[in-house]
Amino acid sequence: MDIPKRAEQQSTQHTQYDPQEIDEAKKIRRLQMMMNMVMSVISQDSELTVEEASELVANAKRAALAMFPDKEFAYDILYKPRLQRLMNERFRLQ
């Protein structure tokens, strides 16, 4: 009857998470949702001006860096090109 003990040990091993990892995962998910919302607004709001969209982008960057202060390089690699491409497509910028 060694099988139930092993199953119990395995199930408890998988449920022990580091609280810092959980917090980090929540912040990452929050950032992803925020950036998706910003990109949706820019692409779908027909009354949005270039200035308003630029302000949204700047505020999103500010919020992202507030959540992850030492990750500006990661932001510049991941989100900046996407937002620039979206702004170029939406407002025919060069």
Residues 35-91 pLDDT 10s:
999 999 999 999 999 999 999 999 999 999 999 999 999 999 999 999 999 999 999
Task: Say if 60 falls within a structural domain.
Answer: yes
* pTM of the shown model: 0.75
Contact 10, 50 (CB under 8 A): no
Say if residue 57 is exposed, middle or buried (CB neighbours under 10 Å; 0-12, 13-18, 19+). Answer: buried
Count of domains for the chain: 1
Task: Say if 11 falls within a structural domain.
Answer: no
- In whole angstroms, what is the distance from residue 94 CA to residue 89 CA? 9
Task: Say if 13 falls within a structural domain.
Answer: no
Q: Which of 90, 75, 74 is nearest to 39 (CA)?
A: 90
- In whole angstroms, what is the distance from residue 87 CA to residue 48 CA? 11
Among 4-13, 16-25, 57-66, 77-86, the minimum mean pLDDT is found in 4-13
Give the HSE-up count for residue 7: Cα atoms under 13 Å, Cβ half-sphere.
4
Task: Say if 29 falls within a structural domain.
Answer: yes
Range of the domain at 24: 20-91
Task: Say if 1 falls within a structural domain.
Answer: no
